[in-house]
């Protein structure tokens, strides 16, 4: 995962030491992708770690008391924003997932376009720059826009404007697609249940 090596090491160390971890950050920042990479056997994944009922939060608290380790992903990490589950937030190591640099996003978009190096983009260089600007450091958005555009290009012969791609897929739809892809990937690799 481009630009996430230190963060992934930190999360793996926490999970291996038996500490539950909550990744938090804005929509499209890459929390679910990180979950799919760092999930370990025996770790219960909760993604998204939001809209959890009091009954579910109570079950999580009891499981934490028995030593269960959780890996969660949420947009916010405050008791108020998380509702019922916010009461057990103190039991988690909180890890903020930050925006990626423009350079890392350019490399990611180039890879999604099937170009080995960002320097080999040629006529697509302006398109990549516009996509990076639109994504605002969020790899989930950059990936969703680029995947839509690649599909569009295979049907129509050209890349659509990044803003058109973003509007066509819709912010929430793009994230659901990416999250479901990550969820299926985690479930297949690690045989985990999801809450």
pLDDT in tens, 93-135: 999 999 989 988 888 888 888 876 655 556 777 888 899 988 8
Tell me how many degrees the CA angle 28-108-192 measures, rounded to the nearest 5: 55
Where are the alpha helices (H) located in 73-138, listed in sequence order?
79-82, 102-112, 125-135
pLDDT of res. 183: 47
Confidence of residue 57 (pLDDT cuts 50, 70, 90): confident
Residue entry with tokens 């045989």: 191
Q: Which residue has the higher pLDDT, 36 or 85?
A: 36
48 upstream amide cis, omega within 30 of 0? yes
Backbone angles phi, psi at 190, to 5 degrees: -120, -5
CA 108/CA 153 separation, integer angstroms: 18
In angstroms, rounded to a whole number, what is the distance separating the alpha carbons of residues 139 and 59? 33
For 6-46, how does the pLDDT look when each residue is reduced to its tens digit (9 = 90+)? 889 999 999 999 999 999 998 888 888 888 888 777 889 88
């Amino acid at each position: 995962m481009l630009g996430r090596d230190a963060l992934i090491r930190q999360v793996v160390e926490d999970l291996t030491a038996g500490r539950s971890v909550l990744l938090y950050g804005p929509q499209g920042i890459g929390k679910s992708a990180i979950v799919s990479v760092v999930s370990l056997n025996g770790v219960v994944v909760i993604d998204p770690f939001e809209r959890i009922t009091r009954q579910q939060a109570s079950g999580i608290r009891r499981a934490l008391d028995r030593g269960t380790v959780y890996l969660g992903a949420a947009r916010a990490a405050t008791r108020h924003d998380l509702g019922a589950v916010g009461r057990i937030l103190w039991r988690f190591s909180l890890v903020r997932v930050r925006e990626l640099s423009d350079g890392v996003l350019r490399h990611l978009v180039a890879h999604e376009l099937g170009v080995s190096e960002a320097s080999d983009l040629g006529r697509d260089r302006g398109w990549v720059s516009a996509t990076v600007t639109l994504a605002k450091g969020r790899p989930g958005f950059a990936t969703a826009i680029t995947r839509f555009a690649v599909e569009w290009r295979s049907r129509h012969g050209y890349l659509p404007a990044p803003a058109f791609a973003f509007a066509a897929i819709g912010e929430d739809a793009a994230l659901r697609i990416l999250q479901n892809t990550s969820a299926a990937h985690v479930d297949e690799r690690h045989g985990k249940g999801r809450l």
